[in-house]
C-alpha cells in the first residue's frame, strides 16, 4: 500500500490516526516548547509568517496522513517529537524551495526539431504576463536576496561580538567536526558545547520581524 | 558570496541549531524558558486550542464515550503517576517532586479534556480506589480546588452541571484523609460558627441581601453578634479549642492570645502567676492588656526541682482568684506542680491555669483547671512563633513577642484589637 492510500488499513509500522492523537495528547509543555523553538529556527525564508503556523502544520500532518489525506506519516518506531521536528524542518524547507522554484520557473520551452527555445507564453494569445506580475516577482527575488544578505550580516555581527560563536559558525561553514573546531580554536569541550548552545539560542532571535510565540 | 551559497550556508546554520536543540535536555529547556520569561502554561494552552480546532476533534458526548478507552486512559494516567512515586526511593522524593508529579498528572488530564480527546466526566475521584498516595491526593485536591476557585470559562465547560458533586467528592475524600482531617475539623468549626451566626440572624429577623459586599456582610455579622441568642450560642462553641499540629502560626497565636485576654477579662483575677520563660512573655502581655497591678504579678521559676515564686504572697491579703499563665503546656506537669505544690496550701484561693497551647496529655491532666483552652496541639513538641528566652515589649504601634531575641513576632496593635473585638463580643 502506498503512502496516503485510503483509510482502510495503515501499513504496519505507521501510526493510526488514534495513535497520533494519543501521541499529541502526550506532548508535555516542554515538548511543545521544543517544537516551538524548532519552528523559530526553521521559519526563516519560508512562507510561514509565524512559528505557530509551522508547528500546527507539522502536528496535523501525521494525523491527516494517517486518515489517508496525504502527507508524511509517522513511523511508530520513531520518537514523535523528533519526527515532528524533522517535519517542521521539511515543511519550512519545502516552503522555501517552492518560493525559489516559483522564482526560477522558466516559461521558455524547446519547440520544434531545431531545439530552439521559445517563450511558451508567446504561443498563448492573451496570456502575456503582465508587467506588474513580472515586476512583483523581481521584487520578491530581490527582497529574498536582501533578506539572506541581512541575515548573514547579522550572523557576522554575532560572530564579531562573540568570538567563540565565531569559531562555531566558521566550523559549520567549513564543514568541520566539533573536535576539529575545538582543536583549532583552543576551546574545551565544555566551552564548545556552551558556545554551540549560545549560537542556537541566538539563532532563534535572528528574525526580529517575526513574533516570538 | 553567490545566492545559492548563501542559502546553503543559512541552511547549514539552521541545521546546526536544530541539532543543538535536539541535544538539549528538558531541564535545560525549562531553565531557558525561565530565563526568557516564556509562559509555558500559556504556550501549552494555546497549542491545545489551535490543534483541537485544526484537527476538528470534538469531545464525544457522554452517551457515546468509549468507556473502555477512557478508563484505560485514566488507569494509565494514574499508573504512570503511581509508578513515578513508587519507583523513586522514599528518601529521594521530596514533597515538591511529589507535588510536581501529581500536578503533571492532573495537567495531563486537564490537557486531554481541553483538547477534547477524552471526556473528563468519567474521571473517578474516589480516593479509596485510587492508586495515588496521600501526598499526591493532597496535591491533586489542592490543585482541583484552586482550579475550582479560580474557575475560568474553559473550566466551566469542563464540569457541565457537576461542580457540586465534584466538591462533595473532594470533601468526602478530605474528611477521610488522615492528613487532611485535622484541618477539616478546624475549618468546619469556623464554617459552622459563621453559618450558625447567619442562621441566628435570619431567625432574629435580619435582612439578607445576596449582593451585599464584604463590608456589609461584616456589619451584619456584628449586628447579629450583639444579640443574646448569639451570645448563648457562642458560649456553647467558642470555648472549643482550635487544633494545631506541631507549631502555632502567628495568626493562630494572635487568636489564642485574644481568647486568653477575653477569658481573663471575664474572670477578673486578682493575682497572676507567670511561669518563668515563655510564660512571662504571655503573662506580661496579658497583664498589660487587662491592667494588672505589678503588686499582684508573680513569677514562678524552678529551683532545686520545684517551683518557687519570686517573692512571698503577702499573708492576710484578700486573694481570691489566681491564674497561672504559661505559653506552652507540653505535659501539664509545670502548671500542675505550681497549682498543687507551690500554691497548694492556700485554701481560700480559686486557682486556674491558662496556656496558649497545650498538648493532648496536658489537656487531660489539667482538664478542670483551665480557664480557657485556646489551642490544642497534636504534638507535645509544639512550638510558638517567638523565642521564649526573649520578653514582651509594647512599642507605639506593635506588640513585640520574643523581644531582644532574633526574629521576634511583631503584632500590629490595630490588628490585635480587631481580632480581640471579634473574640470578645
pLDDT tens digits, B236-274? 555 567 778 788 888 888 889 998 999 999 889 999 999
Name every chain B residue with its beta carbon within 8 A of the beta carbon of A45.
7, 10
Specify the pLDDT at position B193.
Answer: 59
pLDDT for residue B110: 46
Is the predicted pLDDT of residue A6 greater than 70, yes or no?
no
For residue B391, report the phi and psi dihedrals to the nearest 5 degrees: -140, 180
Give B3's contacts in chain A (Cβ within 8 Å): 145, 148
pLDDT band at A21 (very low <50, low <70, confident <90, very high): confident
Q: What is the pLDDT of residue A134?
A: 60
CA distance B135 to chain A (A): 22
> Could you tell me the pLDDT band of residue A88, with boundaries at 50, 70 and 90?
very high
pLDDT (tens digit per residue) in B128-147: 333 344 444 445 545 545 44
Structure confidence at residue B391 as a pLDDT band (50, 70, 90): very high
Is pLDDT at A49 greater than 70 in this prediction?
yes
* Candidate from A60-64, B43-47, B271-275, B296-300 with smallest mean pLDDT: B43-47
User: Is the predicted pLDDT of residue B289 greater than 90, yes or no?
Assistant: yes
CA of A2 vs chain B CAs: smallest distance (Å): 23
Interface test with B, best of A158, A164, A200 (most B CBs within 10 A): A200
Tell if the CB–CB gap between B29 and A37 is shorter than 8 Å: yes
Per-residue confidence band for B297, with pLDDT thresholds at 50, 70 and 90: very high
CA distance readout (Å), B248 to A26, B253, B409: 43, 6, 12
B49 to chain A: closest CA residue: A56
B269 to A153, B328, B346: CA distances (angstroms) = 87, 20, 15
DSSP A206: S
- Average pLDDT of the segment spanning A128-137: 55
B161-201 pLDDT tens trace: 444 455 556 666 666 666 666 555 555 555 555 666 666 67
Rounded mean pLDDT, A177-197: 88
Cell of B140: 491533586
Measured distance CA(B217)–CA(B209) in Å, rounded: 9
Section B394-409 average pLDDT: 88
* Interface contacts A/B by beta carbons within 8 Å: 119
Q: What pLDDT score does B188 carry?
A: 56
Longest CA–CA span in chain A (Å) reads 67
Give the model's confidence band at A126: pLDDT under 50 very low, under 70 low, under 90 confident, else very high.
very low
What is the reported pLDDT for B357?
Answer: 93
Residues of B with Cβ-Cβ distance to A213 under 8 angstroms: 38, 43, 46
User: What is d(CA B165, CA B410) in angstroms, rounded to the nearest whole number?
Assistant: 43
More confident residue, A3 or A167: A167
The reported pTM is 0.41
pLDDT of residue B260: 93
Which backbone phi and psi does A119 adopt, to 5 degrees? -75, 125
Contact A202, B14 (CB under 8 A): no
Residues 6+ apart with CB under 8 A from A146: none
Is a pLDDT exceeding 60 seen at residue B421?
yes
Facing residue for B117 by CB, picked from A25, A100, A152: A25
Q: Say which residues have a Cβ less than 8 Å from residue A20's Cβ, sequence separation at least 6.
A: A62, A63, A66, A74
**Mean pLDDT estimate for chain B:** 71
Per-residue confidence (pLDDT) for residue B119, from 0 to 100: 27
Distance (Å, rounded) from C-alpha A24 to C-alpha A84? 10
**Residue B389 at interface with chain A, using a CB cutoff of 8 Å:** no
- Chain A hits for B20, Cβ within 8 Å: 196-197, 199-200
The mean pLDDT of A74-87, rounded to a whole number, is 90
Higher-pLDDT residue of B424 and B270 is B270
Residue with cell 508535555: A28
Q: What distance in Å separates residue A129's CA from the closest CA in chain B?
A: 26
Tell me what ipTM this predicted complex has. 0.76
Write down the pLDDT at residue A105: 37
Mean pLDDT of A83-89: 92
Res. A125 pLDDT band, cuts 50 70 90: very low
- Chain B, 96-115: which have a CB under 8 Å from a chain A CB? 104, 107-108, 111-112, 115
B21 contacts A85? CB cut-off 8 A: yes
Contact between residue B374 and residue B345 where contact means Cβ atoms under 8 Å apart: no
**Are B47 and A213 an interchain contact pair (Cβ–Cβ within 8 Å)?**
no
B21 Cβ contact partners less than 8 Å away, ≥ 6 residues apart: A34, A37, A38, A41, A85, A200
Amino acid at each position: 500500500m502506498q503512502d496516503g492510500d485510503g483509510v482502510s488499513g495503515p501499513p504496519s509500522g505507521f501510526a493510526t490516526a488514534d495513535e497520533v492523537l494519543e501521541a499529541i495528547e502526550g506532548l508535555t509543555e516542554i515538548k511543545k516548547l521544543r517544537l516551538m523553538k524548532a519552528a523559530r529556527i526553521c521559519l526563516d525564508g519560508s512562507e510561514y509568517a509565524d512559528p505557530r503556523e509551522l508547528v500546527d502544520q507539522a502536528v496535523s500532518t501525521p494525523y491527516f496522513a494517517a486518515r489517508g489525506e496525504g502527507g508524511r506519516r509517522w513511523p511508530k518506531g520513531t520518537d514523535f517529537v523528533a519526527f515532528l521536528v524533522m517535519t517542521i524542518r521539511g515543511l519550512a524547507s519545502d516552503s522555501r524551495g517552492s518560493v525559489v522554484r516559483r522564482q526560477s520557473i522558466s516559461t521558455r520551452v524547446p519547440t520544434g526539431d531545431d531545439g530552439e527555445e521559445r517563450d511558451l507564453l508567446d504561443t498563448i494569445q492573451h496570456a502575456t504576463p503582465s508587467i506588474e506580475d513580472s515586476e512583483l516577482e523581481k521584487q520578491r527575488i530581490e527582497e529574498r536576496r536582501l533578506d539572506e544578505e541581512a541575515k548573514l550580516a547579522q550572523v557576522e555581527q554575532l560572530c564579531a561580538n562573540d568570538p567563540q560563536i565565531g569559531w562555531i559558525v566558521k566550523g559549520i561553514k567549513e564543514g568541520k567536526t566539533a573536535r576539529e573546531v575545538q582543536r583549532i580554536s583552543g576551546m574545551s569541550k565544555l566551552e564548545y558545547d556552551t558556545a554551540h548552545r549560545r549560537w542556537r539560542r541566538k539563532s532563534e532571535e535572528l528574525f526580529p520581524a517575526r513574533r516570538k510565540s | 558570496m553567490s545566492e545559492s551559497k548563501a542559502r546553503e550556508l543559512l541552511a547549514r546554520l539552521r541545521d546546526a541549531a536544530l541539532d543543538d536543540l535536539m541535544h538539549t535536555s528538558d531541564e535545560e529547556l525549562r531553565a531557558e524558558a525561565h530565563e526568557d520569561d516564556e509562559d509555558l502554561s500559556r504556550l501549552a494552552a494555546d497549542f491545545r486550542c489551535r490543534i483541537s480546532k485544526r484537527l476538528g476533534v470534538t469531545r464525544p458526548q457522554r452517551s457515546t464515550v468509549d468507556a473502555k478507552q477512557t478508563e484505560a486512559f485514566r488507569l494509565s494516567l494514574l499508573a504512570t503517576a503511581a509508578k513515578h512515586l513508587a519507583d523513586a526511593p522514599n528518601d529521594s522524593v521530596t514533597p515538591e517532586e511529589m507535588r510536581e508529579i501529581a500536578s503533571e498528572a492532573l495537567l495531563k488530564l486537564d490537557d486531554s479534556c481541553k483538547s477534547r480527546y477524552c471526556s473528563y466526566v468519567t474521571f473517578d475521584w474516589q480516593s479509596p480506589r485510587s492508586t495515588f498516595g496521600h501526598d499526591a491526593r493532597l496535591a491533586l485536591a489542592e490543585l482541583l480546588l484552586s482550579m475550582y476557585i479560580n474557575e475560568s470559562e474553559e473550566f466551566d465547560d469542563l464540569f457541565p452541571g457537576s461542580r457540586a458533586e465534584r466538591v462533595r467528592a473532594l470533601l468526602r475524600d478530605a474528611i477521610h484523609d488522615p492528613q487532611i482531617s485535622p484541618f477539616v475539623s478546624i475549618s468546619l468549626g469556623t464554617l459552622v460558627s459563621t453559618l450558625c451566626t447567619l442562621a441566628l440572624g435570619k431567625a432574629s429577623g435580619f435582612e439578607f441581601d445576596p449582593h451585599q459586599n464584604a463590608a456589609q456582610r461584616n456589619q451584619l455579622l456584628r449586628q447579629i453578634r450583639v444579640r443574646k441568642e448569639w451570645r448563648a450560642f457562642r458560649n456553647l462553641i467558642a470555648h472549643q479549642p482550635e487544633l494545631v499540629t506541631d507549631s502555632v502560626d502567628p495568626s493562630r497565636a494572635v487568636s489564642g492570645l485574644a481568647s486568653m485576654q477575653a477569658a481573663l477579662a471575664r474572670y477578673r483575677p486578682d493575682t497572676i502567676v507567670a511561669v518563668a520563660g515563655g510564660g512571662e512573655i504571655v503573662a506580661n502581655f496579658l497583664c498589660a492588656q487587662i491592667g494588672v497591678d505589678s503588686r499582684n504579678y508573680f513569677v514562678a521559676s524552678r529551683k532545686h526541682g520545684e517551683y518557687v515564686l519570686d517573692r512571698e504572697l503577702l499573708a492576710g491579703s484578700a486573694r481570691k482568684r489566681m491564674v497561672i499563665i504559661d505559653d506552652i503546656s507540653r505535659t501539664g506537669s509545670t502548671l500542675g506542680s505550681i497549682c498543687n505544690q507551690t500554691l497548694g496550701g492556700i485554701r481560700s484561693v480559686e486557682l486556674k491555669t491558662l496556656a496558649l497551647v497545650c498538648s493532648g496529655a496536658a489537656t487531660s491532666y489539667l482538664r478542670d483547671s483551665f480557664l480557657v483552652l485556646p489551642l490544642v496541639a497534636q504534638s507535645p513538641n509544639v512550638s510558638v512563633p517567638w523565642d521564649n528566652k526573649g520578653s514582651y515589649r509594647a512599642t507605639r504601634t506593635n506588640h513585640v513577642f520574643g523581644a531582644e531575641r532574633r526574629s521576634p513576632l511583631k503584632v500590629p496593635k490595630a490588628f490585635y484589637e480587631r481580632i480581640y473585638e471579634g473574640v470578645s463580643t
